[in-house]
Amino acid sequence: MMIKVENLRKTYQMGNVEVRALDGVSLSVAHGEYVAIIGQSGSGKSTLMHILGLLDVPDAGTFEIDGTDVTKFSENQLAAFRNRIMGFVFQQFNLLKRTSALENVGLPLIYARNGKKSDIATKMLKLVGLGERMSHHTNELSGGQQQRVAIARALVNSPSLIFADEPTGNLDSKSAKEIMQVLSELHASGLTIILVTHDAEVANHAQRIIELRDGKIIADEPNPNAPPIPKAPKVETVEDGAGGFSLQSIREGIILVKQSIRSLLANKVRTALSALGIMIGVAAVIATVAVGNGAKAAVQDQMSRLGSNLLMVYPQRRSRGGVSQAQGSTSRLSLSDVSAIREEVDHVVFASPTIDGNVQLKYGNKNWSSRVEGVEPDYEYMRSYEPQIGRFITDEEVNARARVVVLGLTPVRELFGTENPLGQKIKIDRQTFTVVGVLPEKGSSGFRDYDDTGFVPVSTAMRRLFGKDYIDRIEIQIDEAENMERAQADILALLAQRHRAGSSANPFEIRNLAEIQDAVSETSNVMSLLLSSIASIALVVGGIGIMNIMLVSVTERTREIGLRKALGARGKDILLQFLIEALIISFFGGCLGIAVGAGVGYLAERFAGMTVLFTKDSIYMAFGFSAIIGVLFGIWPARKAAQLNPIEALRYE
């Protein structure tokens, strides 16, 4: 016997009422037999077919196929049996929409692990007389042609057993006659056929007729008009179907991707809206990270223009009677302090006294308010101020209190326009100075223009411009960053000794530009992280949109999921398909997001004047995050689809 069942029972709970669909059914079906199961609606015939077809499980009883108890099979083994041993012909055809006849017939091959090529689907369509209609979609076929496609699909894996559930129920009499002729020919070729119908005329094509009523067999008789039983074919052994990685696995993966793309394209607007959320999230992450990186790079560039490993010594502010006094009101820095630091403190490379103030520049009939600093020649190397034309201040000019000036680009542009400024005489607060050099461009930061400046000898600034016998600060460059802390302590100790601070608080303070730069960089990092976190919320929202759309898709495609499982799809196959769909949406949205993010960054740089810096890491991060979002938010709908019971899914309306 091919099939043997004893005392099968199946009960459904309909509210508070128990309905016994099967009540102690026992029967057997031999190889090559053609059996019709008949009965009125509600007699249990469809339930019996679903159990025999491994789409449903009984509450009690035994069920053997070729002597093997299939009630102990795993889900993968049941799926493999359905795919390799059984073929299904449904009353409603259960063909995939927006899919060609050839693709419908080849559907079981996706889940087959027998190495069969897709050209077998073409042969099956020709076998059922649809060789000229292979590329037509299901909505372009008549009812009889759709049922022929369903029969070809049932035959594509060379099954030993065909289940036909009301195969003529939705057909006209001519199409019904053609379908029954096809089934008879299949039986004559050696296939075992179990036909479920309520039509006695249809059942008369079978060799044997089993009648059910109220879940019990009331008649089981041979049909005297049936053809003789053909020789039983050899049944293939079916494995679990959990093979390892191979070319077959790659082929299955490619087919699953194609199936997923086709499913998504069937609802283009919904897919595009799902991808839109991911696109916005990825674009926001890329744009904000690029702007943050650009701001950080701009700050670092501006700080580097100020020089590296710099210390700035200031007199401390003091309070007297609760009133804060000006810097240097109780202690003042002198030119001799600069010389002492150069000579006595280790690791000092350059040191320059600095005094500055606002002045009025005049050339011809043009005036410009600017800031002038009195410095020494070391300042050129400390701050990378090598003039682009001309030269910097010399030691001789410092000693002679020479009235020479090195101008920045802003006063040069405002006073001279396109005229060469070198050697020209200008007035600085009514005193005549000679322009000896033009500084390189330094740019601006916030409200300060670093190019709106000029440099004169420090002695000239003290005696001729500002009338001071002290300096405002000392700027010092240290050889290595790791020596900064030691040099800072030595400088403070030296100044305390020179100014006889004794046990009182040191009257001087040192500002470390490296620490300031680190603080600014840290602030930029925090702001970038904050902006990226805010942008990531958009990605999460996009992921929720994917999950919502996928849940809707699972509901809409419940019957399709049931069909795929009936044709041999394992839970893992369904899970992978829906995960692939979620990943495709994320990939599509991620690609668009990268393009949009780059466009936003370009516009911000072009029209808003912002510094934008794109990095591979930010793109990889955003793209990877979108993929993770696709998996995380797609896993629940995918698991929900994978866990559907095949018969419940097929019955879903």
Amino acid 450: pLDDT: 83
Phi, psi of 326, deg, nearest 5: -70, 160
User: pTM of the predicted model, to two decimals?
Assistant: 0.62
Which residues of the chain fall short of a pLDDT of 50?
230-246, 319-325, 327-329
**Count of residues making up the chain:** 653
Q: Distance between CA atoms of 82 and 77, rounded to whole angstroms?
A: 9
Amino acid 446: pLDDT: 56
Contact 586, 260 (CB under 8 A): no
User: Which of 356, 357, 367, 358 has the alpha carbon at shortest distance from 426?
Assistant: 367
Q: Distance between CA atoms of 189 and 187, rounded to whole angstroms?
A: 5
> Which amino acid is located at 265 in the chain?
L
Amino acid 416: pLDDT: 93
Task: Tell me the three state secondary structure of residue 18.
Answer: strand
DSSP code for 235: P
37-81: pLDDT as tens digits: 998 888 888 889 888 988 888 889 999 988 888 888 888 888 888
With 0-12 CB in 10 A as exposed, 13-18 as middle and 19+ as buried, what is 602? middle
544-556: pLDDT as tens digits: 877 887 888 888 8
Q: Distance between CA atoms of 366 and 361, rounded to whole angstroms?
A: 8
Amino acid 552: pLDDT: 82
Q: What is the dihedral of CA 407, 409, 411, 417, to 10 degrees?
A: 120
Task: Tell me the three state secondary structure of residue 243.
Answer: coil
Cβ neighbour number for residue 74 with a 10 Å cutoff: 12
Q: Go through the domains of the chain in sequence order and give each one's CATH number.
A: 3-244 (3.40.50.300), 259-300+519-651 (no CATH), 332-506 (no CATH)
Phi, psi of 599, deg, nearest 5: -65, -40
How many Å from the N-terminal Cα to the C-terminal Cα in the chain?
36
Find how far residue 381's CA is from the centre of its chain: 48
CA atoms within 13 A on the CB side of 617: 3
Collect all residues with Cβ–Cβ distance below 8 Å to 304 and sequence separation of at least 6. none
